[in-house]
Amino acid sequence: MELARNSVLKMHNLGKRKENSEETMIGRTDVSNFVVLPNIAIEIIDYFDEGLTIEQIEGIMKEKEIDVDVMDFAHLLLNDLEFVHTVNGKVVNEEVIDNGHFHWITQKQASLFFNKYMSAVYSFFLLAGILLCIMNPSFIPRHTDVFVSTSVTISIITTTAIGWFLLYLHEFGHLLAAKSIGIKSRIGLGHRLVFPVAETDMSNIVLLPHKRRYRALLAGMAWDGALFGIGVILLFINQFFFMMDPTFIAIIRMINLVSILGIAFQFLFYLETDMYYVFTTYFKCNNLIHNTRLFIWSKVRKISEEQRIELENINPKEKKIMKWYIGFYIVGVLWAISIFFIITIPTLLKFISLTIVKMVDYPLISMEFFDGIIFIVLSSIPFVVLFWSWIRTWRNRRRERENRRLASEIT
């Protein structure tokens, strides 16, 4: 859309947070699109919201002897950032109505599960579980705990169902904690490199001061740890006080194993895991993993002028952290990819081929044939999620690049 010097621009509802004395983070809370801008840019945006025309703002900048291209910035707000809601009263960028998942849960209700008292409760269960494992190593989860039954099919079905439930319970913890501090969020499926994951989008959390974010970032691990502790306590009761149903105890052991593996995964912070976000929040890195990837790309291929400028403008403090994080990131990524293609994929294909070979020896209507189908389907689910997420991410990035290209042509 063409702009004139007498154009009046009205912004969407924009959230703001002061980054430092010279910059402010600002963005649309409805689509969680944020950018760090210099204070003069924020001042111009405020003038637009007051109803001033581009020409009037140019006059103000001239009076203040500030050299800024207001028209160019207006095009940036309109086309690239899509902060502009209306131009001369005409809607140019529609508002997106999104209240997040479980919008009916109030902030007060969510706070019942995440406050300083509940933090103490979660910590108690985790520490109790660790202490009991130290006192009695038989409580420590083992890889054989995935088998909750002598039937492989029943074990696979049970482990898969409970595993995905616990995965979403972890994310629901993030969602509740975010809601308790006034941040809407959504739970969905995605991936971390070669790992399929459930994930909680709470992008608006960047508007909060860093010290207020930890509750939401650590919530999933807090629930995993508490669940593990409760499970170990149940094993302790079963062994020393009264016997429980063996199947129930087998399921508890499996839950303990899944919980511990879930916590361990969060420490792979060469991926965008919970501990990665805790780390970057503590050191106030705006986009460590993205900047690290961009730096690596700049060493192996020619990058665009836009990417070069982005690389040059990285915060000096973040650049220092990147120096040691790069090596850690490269080793971690190569390790994960190697494990995936050398072990995970071949192992899956081998088990599926062996299953198919055994299936052909049985009639279509038989328990053995049904077991084979169940095994193949359930074993394939994580890979289907992974490939679907890869394709979705590729399409989204291609769409973003196309939007940037069109925006540059317009301006």
- Nearest-5° Cα angle at 18, 326 to 396: 55
- Last residue within a domain, chosen from 98, 115, 140: 98
Half-sphere CA count of 46, side-chain side, radius 13 A: 10
Is the pLDDT confidence value at 398 over 80? no
Is the pLDDT confidence value at 187 over 70? yes
Residue 154 in any domain: the answer is yes
Which distant-in-sequence residues (6+ apart) come within 8 Å of 214 by Cβ? 278, 281
Shared domain check, 92 and 111: no
Shared domain check, 248 and 122: yes
How do residues 202-235 score in pLDDT, each as one tens digit? 999 999 999 999 999 999 999 999 999 999 999 9
Shared domain check, 272 and 160: yes
User: Which runs of consecutive H residues, i.e. helices, occur in 210-304?
Assistant: 214-240, 246-265, 274-282, 288-300
How do residues 26-53 score in pLDDT, each as one tens digit? 999 988 888 889 999 999 999 999 999 9
What average pLDDT does this structure show over 97-103?
A: 85
Is the pLDDT confidence value at 139 over 70? yes
Please, which pLDDT band fits residue 405 given cuts at 50, 70 and 90? low
Q: How many angstroms separate the CA atoms of 16 and 36, rounded?
A: 9
Q: Are 83 and 46 in contact (CB under 8 A)?
A: no
pLDDT confidence of residue 400: 63
What average pLDDT does this structure show over 130-156?
A: 90
What average pLDDT does this structure show over 248-260?
A: 96
**Residue range(s) defining the domain that contains residue 187:** 107-282
- Last residue within a domain, chosen from 44, 67, 98: 98
Q: What is the CA radius of gyration of the chain?
A: 26
What average pLDDT does this structure show over 137-145?
A: 93
Q: pTM for the full model?
A: 0.86
Shared domain check, 231 and 118: yes
Shared domain check, 79 and 192: no
Shared domain check, 56 and 92: yes
